[in-house]
Structure 1
Amino acid sequence: MSWHCTGLSWPGEGPADGPVLGWRGDDVRRVSALAYGRELGFRAEGERHCVGARGNPCPLVAVVPVRSTGARCPECARLDRAHSVAADTLADDPRPYRVYLAWFGPGTVKVGITREARGGARLREQGAVVFSWLGRGPLMAARRTEELLRAALGVPDRIPYARKRAVRGGLPGTEERSAEVEGLYRRAVALEGTGWPKALERLPFEAVDHAGIFALTSAGAPVRAVSGLVGGGVVAGRLVAAAGPDLYLETPADGTVVLDTRLITGWQLAAADARAGVSVPLVAVGAGGVQDGLF
């Protein structure tokens, strides 16, 4: 049976819960828990194909670009987005949502929304180093609050992923990490009575710090990142940290290399010697080279 990676996720809420890689083989699905300090290695085989939409396979089995983080052909990407919260097509969704404030590094904060049932998984998937809930309520009230903060306070709701990766390279101490989020929280609640949706319940400030879960404070600053796989190319090393979709691998020849696991979806992967190093294209961290999604 051939296995295809379905991406990295952060299902647990506890301080010891790390990331897992998802796999699909024919009609079978499984996950592999990742642990810091362990070696891993894989080799890409064949070509990269579209991962489909909404859990359904791509009818065209289309080949997709190796540098795209989406791994979907144009038609599957359209279908997938049509059913997303970001597309504003779910206005009648009865499920409760939460508004959050997230910090990715010095000077980099954003506002966003997520389904309440997902807990903090959305924040870990984005690579948020610190976050706090702001409020909870119906989807459209959460969306209006997001728009209010963007218009009144100039807070973005999207940050390019390359920026998130760049600013997490040198993190300040715990108190400094939460201070910027707390300052934004106070500015946000000051807007109550001036456009704050009545249906949104304000939640108390509580900073949740992911630096320990991500192991960022113990990892060396990476200088290179994988820009895309190639057929026969190997990625291998010792896992030292992870944040969002990124894995930080310590390699013998290239130092600490960052792999955005969104780049490995759509590939058929086989096991490789964990000491084989990296034989796929690399770029300097911050130099681009990846078709980034807004994340």
Structure 2
Amino acid sequence: MTTASDLHPEQLRALLHFYADAGVDWLLEEEAVDRIAEFEAMRAARGMPARQEVAPEPQRPARQAPQRQEQPRAAAPAPLPNVAIPDSQAVAEAEFAASSARSLEELRTAMEAFNGCNLKTSARCLVFAEGNAKPAVMVIGAMPNADDDRDGQPFSGRQGAMLDRMLAGIGLARADILLTNVVPWRPPGNRPPSQREADICRPFIERQIALAEPNHLLVLGNFAARFLFRSNDTIHQLRGEWREIDVSGRAIPAFATLHPQDLVTAPISKRLAWQDLLAFRTGLKA
């Protein structure tokens, strides 16, 4: 049986990434269990004849099956804890790291060195802001998906192509804006970030906004809208209206609409998104 110690570091890294993509957070048991021996022990306990084994070759001594029935089965070990668990100390460390950055590049470096969020342990890479460092418009989504995590860029793949079409419809391009996400590391299996994970990431996204100094924010999707507006309403209640977000003492006009992924999975929602984008464009000219 191959164990983790038998693997080359690159093979182990690839295996862990495969588990992360599949949504695996931890192993249930630390050691392999011989299920065949367990089955034979169960048959013996019930008085059933054991399955006939093929005789071993003469030159090789036969291996005796472990007498599992003579020993009580040990309880399965508790799930292994995550490498890093978000807590108040991690939030304080994130706040310190974010506030110490004086530019977006310094903030990227600080986030790459930060180990206080457990999402970093399963993600391939940090997905940082990309585009115009001093934009008129900053676009903020929720979190990286598998394409973003693979490419190291926000809004890649099909949802990125959809976003490009959305922006082109109101006369904007990627080169004109700054693209980013509330959470910079992809959660395993694309699950929603927990509240504690979001709390740890808040200092980083707020510092990105403060350093970029955008004139307007376009917020995409349910999670990002709830996070930035500090609301429990759904995206359908928050979309289509201008609000203000206070970041570092500066009030920034913000407008929420559906996420590009919403339009990929439910094309009927494009009508609502188009109405929002037209209203957003009107607000930019006001």
TM, length-normalised to structure 2: 0.28
Say which structure is richer in strand: 1
Question: Which has the larger Rg?
Answer: 2
With a CA cutoff of 8 Å and minimum separation of 6, indicate the structure with the bigger relative contact order.
1
TM, length-normalised to structure 1: 0.27
